[in-house]
Chain A
Amino acid sequence: MTGAAPDNSPESPGSVRPAPVDPPGDGRPAAVEFRGVTKIYNEGTSREAVAIRDVSFTIPDLPDKGEISTFLGPSGCGKSTVLRMVAGLEPQFPPTRGSVHVLGREVVGPGSDRGMVFQDYTSFDNRTVLGNVTFGLECRGVPKRRREAEGREWIARVGLDPRRDAAKYPHELSGGMRQRVAIARTLVLRPRIILMDEPFGALDPATRLDMQDLLVRLWREVEATVMFITHSVEEAVYLGDRVFVMATTPGRIAAEIRMPAADAPAREAQVEPWFHEQVNQLQAQLEAIEAAASRPGN
């Protein structure tokens, strides 16, 4: 693991919860592993741009549990590049150098074993909520009756009303509801890895807290590994079991920090003193990293 500074321990006065320790390695392949990954866009042309350089990190595959890793960093530091590489989406994938491994296998392209939720609403406008949620099952050839039953189940699980909302079209939904549909659509396929690129970035603060609770609840249910990009330090601390702080020019991982798990609902947990402590600490660290990056000659 790169760049884990020694003073990363979240333990400090006021911090009630101890940071968890990595479980002993039991030989399981890592959920996600980056090995010396560099991505250069338009290499060899005048528009050459280094998005990330020599990024290596490992997210372990915790049996029957999974982990939420959050990615924090300034705009343009390569967060989306990292996530889309795991998803296998072009043009971020394939890496210019290095390799990306998911559950022990090198990523060769996109697939439904790695679900993704985007910040921009990507509900298929021509499909109802139910049609959107069952899209992946339809592609797999699951019979209509069965996939619709499963779809309704997931519509309920993400907090929508299967009776009233299933037949609605995306343009009749609020932003929060659209993201609920996007989450249901991804989770119905039971992916082992869930990739989320600022999924709640466009939502208002109250909706955002609801969505955080929803995510934690569902994540416990599906026991998947989550990679979650956010701009909000609070969100990174609340959701993250592990926070990757990224820095820019070139994009790289500046720090990897273990976080204590928050087990209270978002509204309660985010007013507790230990939480504020944690946020302030991370904020300071973020500022230090950004200051170091913007220092002349660096």
Chain B
Amino acid sequence: MTEQTEKAVPAAEAPLPRGEEPAAEGHRIAPLRGELSNTAAFFWGFTCIAGVLAVWFVITAGPPGEAEKRMVSPTTLPSVAETFQAIPRVFGERKLVTNTLVTLKRVCLGFGLSCIVGVPLGILAACLPALRAFLAPLMVFGRNIPVAALIPLTFFFFGIGEFQKVMFLFIASVAFVLSDTAAAVLDVPQRYVDTALTLGASRWQIITKVLGPLAAPSIFNSLRLLFGLAFGYVMLAELVKFGSASGGLGDLINMSQRRGEREPILLVLVIIPMVAWAIDRALWWLQSDLFPYRYGGAGLIPRFCGWLLHGRRTEFRP
């Protein structure tokens, strides 16, 4: 007995710490789904950017004037320095800022139209099963339509002006807006509807006072993500053009391609995601501020609107 225990104790003790150590270590360095400190997050992000730039730098490096000695020829990929030297040209001659604004205006119009049509219709579709079934084929069709094939079609229908681009975006995105909105409303737990019913709410009041507002944070979140999608679509529409220059980022890329310039295209590729990211962050801030109870924002806009609407009569929270 004693012998056995004496043997068993070290035998049992020895592997335990050894077995636990790597687990504990792993827990510290890479906690599963855990939070990372800002510094660490910045470090890893920076490492990624630096890594990409380094690879780019190495494969395009070579003595000046001897382009054929580079690993990748400059006609395929210009060097880092060459690309960044093109910055003034892209901002000046190619009017990057103006073209970005032209593109943004188109996204806002087309996607805005999608929202104006898709959100109310989506809420109604979620509430009325017959309408939902009626719209179901359109949603399936609209979500799976080959977007590129839509472009020539919209030229036939809507001409070659601004209207065509707006309508293209509308057709390409409205089905997503509609079905995401309907899904958000259907996701609101039934107990809220039951509660409202026992408090005497009518069917219409349940839609406008309960389902709509409770689904609003999810709807806004979907719209924010879909905005990014629309931003990509519109450039596709701008790439295809008839006749004169139509402006926009797609057009800028098109023009550079015809002139055989790679640097502006690369720069646009770098700048566009940054613009898209900035817009996304701005929308996220708006979202968390509009729905503080869901995303923990400060609620400045709702409070400001409340103050505008009701003035001194509202009580302020400290």
A binding-site residues for B, Cβ under 8 Å? 84, 87-89, 110-112, 114-116, 118, 120, 122, 124-127, 135-136, 138-140, 163, 166-171, 185-186, 189, 195
The reply to whether the CB of B257 lies closer than 8 angstroms to some CB of chain A is no
16 CB contacts below 8 A, A to B, read: A116-B195, A120-B191, A122-B191, A124-B210, A125-B214, A126-B291, A126-B293, A135-B196, A139-B199, A139-B201, A139-B209, A167-B316, A168-B317, A169-B292, A170-B293, A186-B198
- Given the interface pairs A124-B213, A167-B317, the reply to whether A89 lies near B200 with Cβ below 8 Å is no
Which label, helix, strand, loop or mixed, suits the secondary structure of the B interface? Answer: helix
Taking a contact as CB atoms under 8 Å apart, the answer to whether A124 and B198 are in contact is no
Q: Mark out the residues of chain B between 159 and 197 whose CB falls within 8 Å of any chain A CB in the assembled complex.
A: 189, 191-192, 194-197
Whole-angstrom distance from the CB of A230 to the nearest CB of chain B? 19
Taking a contact as CB atoms under 8 Å apart, the answer to whether A118 and B199 are in contact is no
The reply to whether the CB of B85 lies closer than 8 angstroms to some CB of chain A is no
Interface string of B216-246 (1 = CB under 8 A from A): 1000000000000000000000000000000
The reply to whether the CB of B294 lies closer than 8 angstroms to some CB of chain A is yes
Whole-angstrom distance from the CB of A207 to the nearest CB of chain B? 21
User: CB-CB < 8 A to A170: which residues of B?
Assistant: 293
CB-CB nearest in chain B for A166 = B315
Whole-angstrom distance from the CB of A137 to the nearest CB of chain B? 9
B binding-site residues for A, Cβ under 8 Å? 189, 191-192, 194-202, 205, 209-210, 213-214, 216, 291-294, 315-317
Given A114-B198, A126-B213, A126-B293, 14 new contacts (CB under 8 A):
A112-B200, A115-B199, A116-B194, A120-B189, A120-B191, A122-B192, A122-B194, A124-B192, A126-B291, A135-B209, A136-B201, A139-B205, A167-B315, A186-B199
CB-CB nearest in chain A for B317 = A167
Pick the 10 closest A-B CB pairs, nearest first. Answer: A112-B200, A110-B197, A136-B199, A116-B198, A122-B195, A126-B213, A169-B293, A139-B201, A167-B317, A125-B293
User: CB-CB < 8 A to B294: which residues of A?
Assistant: 125
User: CB-CB < 8 A to A168: which residues of B?
Assistant: 317
- Given the interface pairs A110-B197, A118-B194, A139-B201, the reply to whether A126 lies near B216 with Cβ below 8 Å is yes
User: CB-CB < 8 A to B194: which residues of A?
Assistant: 84, 87, 89, 110, 116, 118, 122
Out of B195, B200, B209, B214, which one reaches A189, CB within 8 Å? Answer: B200
Taking a contact as CB atoms under 8 Å apart, the answer to whether B199 and A185 are in contact is yes
User: CB-CB < 8 A to A111: which residues of B?
Assistant: 198, 200
Whole-angstrom distance from the CB of A195 to the nearest CB of chain B? 8
